[in-house]
Amino acid sequence: MEEENATLLTEFVLTGFLYQPQWKIPLFLAFLVIYLITIMGNLGLIAVTWKDPHLHIPMYLLLGNLAFVDAWISSTVTPKMLNNFLAKSKMISLSECKIHFFSIAIGVTTVCFLLATMAYDRYVAICKPLLYPAIMTNELCVRLLILSYIAGILHALIHEGFLFRLTFCNSNIVHHIYCDIIPLSKISCTDSSINFLMVFIFSGSIQVFSIVTILISYTFFLFTVLEKKSDKGVRKAFSTCGAHLFSVCLYYGPLLLMYVGPASPQADGQNMMEPLFYTVIIPLLNPIIYSLRNKQVIVSFIKMLKRNGI
């Protein structure tokens, strides 16, 4: 009978975050504007790095791929949120839910490895400038990019596989802005302790590895700049490093809260800021933090607009 009841729940209610009914239209418009700016900013960065041969170097190849993954994550989450603001029903099928989670898991994991690779790239550029062309070649950059995507897919496949073992017979209310393994595990009528353990082991390991890589790279970066005792260089380094670390903190802070301590109790429907940050806000901010503050990108963007008569 339990297995029979479990098969009945093949649709879920994706609640999103709680809001008063009168805020429905303002929130829809706000997130629509955020989504459009996010897509235009990230696709614009991809177009600039693709069109300008001078930007076909590791630093900008990494930025272009980060922009691609940011646009991917935003496009997986935000359209569903926008639909839920206006739709009478917030239903999502189990198969749709699994695809939703798989896409997000790939994107979020890939970003972790991309940020670590970008930090390593900056470390080599600043600490070993004479050896940089020999160490950080385009070929190595492409290999690291491929490994980042492969790691993202493999990590998503692991959790997707464990998601298939869950059955749902008690509740179909998913208190989240997208279908995630943590809220799904919480409403499952199957023992989900193994799912929580896998999240803690794999997600925790990936985040710790990438955070340690970033911190070590930027520590050497700062020590090298400070040793040169150039006021202009120090200001530029702290400006660049500070902006990048600010973005990293905004990204990893919510991830650590969400996935490294997944067994901790959360108030249903109240704790939506963490996923909102790394799926909506960060993809909006990254083009500004990494690109609009970069003179070479701005110059290339202006040239591209002039070539197209804009």
Domain that holds residue 25: 2-307
Scan for tokens 């706000």, then name that residue: 30
pLDDT at 2: 44
The pLDDT value given to residue 265: 41
Q: Cβ–Cβ contacts within 10 Å for residue 191, how many?
A: 10
**Residues for the chain: how many in total?**
310
pLDDT, tens digit, for every residue of 166-178? 888 878 888 888 8
Where residue 172 sits, what CATH number does that domain have?
1.20.1070.10
When mean pLDDT is compared across 18-22, 45-49, 99-103, 293-297, the lowest value belongs to 293-297
Percent of the chain, pLDDT > 90? 37
Per-residue model confidence (pLDDT) at position 1? 41
9 has a pLDDT exceeding 90: no
Which pLDDT belongs to residue 87?
A: 82
Q: Does the structure show a pLDDT above 70 at 238? A: no
Mean pLDDT for the chain overall: 84
The predicted pLDDT at position 253 comes to 81
Amino acid at 48: V
Least confident residue range of 4-8, 161-165, 217-221, 228-232: 4-8
| Of 53 and 310, more confident | 53
pLDDT in tens, 111-127: 999 999 999 998 898 88
Task: Name which residue leads in pLDDT, 213 or 87.
Answer: 213
Average pLDDT, integer, range 152-174? 90
> 101 pLDDT exceeds 50?
yes
In terms of C-beta density within 10 A (0-12 exposed, 13-18 middle, 19 or more buried), how is residue 268 classed? middle
pLDDT of the residue at 309 = 60
If pLDDT is split at 50, 70 and 90, which confidence band does 12 have? Answer: confident
Residue 263's pLDDT is 45
Contacts of 273 (CB under 8 A, 6+ apart): 254
Decide if pLDDT at 85 tops 80: yes
Q: State pLDDT tens for residues 179-215.
A: 888 888 888 888 888 988 998 899 889 999 999 999 9
- Long-range CB contact pairs, 264-272, < 8 A, 24+: 268/173, 268/175, 269/15, 269/17, 269/18, 269/175, 270/18, 272/16, 272/17, 272/18, 272/176, 272/177
Determine how many CB atoms are found less than 10 A away from the CB of residue 46.
Answer: 18
pLDDT of residue 231: 67
Number of structural domains in the chain: 1
Span of 64-73, 85-94, 113-122 with lowest mean pLDDT: 85-94
Question: Is residue 16 over pLDDT 90?
Answer: no
